[in-house]
Homo-oligomer: A and B are copies of this chain.
């Protein structure tokens, strides 16, 4: 259909920190002009991981240079281990050697790891420079590139060090999803299913069709729909102080514990979140009155994407619970767990104990 929209812009309305999330199909080469349009000046640090840099680095650099920017390329190893203060130091050092000063900006090209890392680099380099997110995974396009949460991990836990630093622009090209491995593609839908569960149950209808069909206008539509959900939550509660943004942690309390217990790298983030969603849905049925039929819709969607739903036997439940205890979402020592009373009706419960999580995880 010639009238299909191949580009959609979702505004994140945060006053002077507001910005557009542009989702399109085949828009990658337009990033240089788009950066000019939002007023970015100075040199650009193009931060990416080795895989994504090899696929899209030249096209992005070329677009930036065509728009008149000098570009300093910075590459980090692929994978969660790059979310470290050591990599923050390496990136900032490379930028300093490349002559980037406080009038420069950062462009994060890649998935959630690169976005979280480069966002923190931008937050602290010269005490803060602007940055652009160019997300190339499903998770990054629907979730992590939007909302300004940046961070790296410590040995003691995930995202313990970071900053709230909103990007100046998010530029999401669904065509980049074509080069994701099957597992990397599917894991992203854990966050899509989470969004559906807490805010937009109708999005679950026909979602499974996206397993085979990665690009096109339907994908642009789906990504933009997810971005809009995230944007509205961020607008209500930018710094996660009002409790609304905490609802986005549905599935994440157990999910992060599972991710940590597996050792980062064992599970992809979305796979751990899938397991966390199973826990959260089951606890919602047990203590919050979620109907079995609604629970089944969420679990069925996870199944359609072939996401893990049972904790592998070699991951110790005790290790999961111990890691959960160190998680940021345990406020003042108290467990804060997001549950559903019904699809679309999420809330923060203080009725969930670590023991209850352990029971749900037990075979």
Contacts and interface: CB of A to CB of B under 8 A. Distances in A.
B89 A85 contact: yes
Interface residues of A, number: 40
A164 interface: yes
A151 B127 contact: yes
A120 B331 CA distance: 22
A161 B101 contact: no
Contacts of A26: none
Interface string A209-241: 000000000000000000000000000000100
Interface stretch (A5-13, A91-99, A178-186, A301-309): A91-99
A127 B149 contact: yes
A332 B101 contact: yes
Nearest to A43: B332
Contact of A333 (B86, B89, B99, B328): B99
B128 A332 contact: no
Given A125-B160, A163-B128, A89 B332 contact: no
Contacts of A124: 120, 124, 161-163
Given A88-B161, A101-B330, A328-B101, A93 B156 contact: yes
A103 B125 CA distance: 26
Interface of A: 42, 85-86, 88-89, 92-93, 96-97, 99, 101-103, 120, 123-128, 149-151, 154-157, 159-164, 239, 326, 328, 330-333
8 contacts: A85-B89, A92-B156, A103-B331, A103-B332, A126-B160, A126-B328, A127-B162, A128-B164
Given A85-B88, A103-B331, A124-B124, 10 more contacts: A42-B332, A96-B154, A96-B157, A97-B156, A101-B332, A102-B328, A103-B332, A125-B160, A125-B161, A163-B163
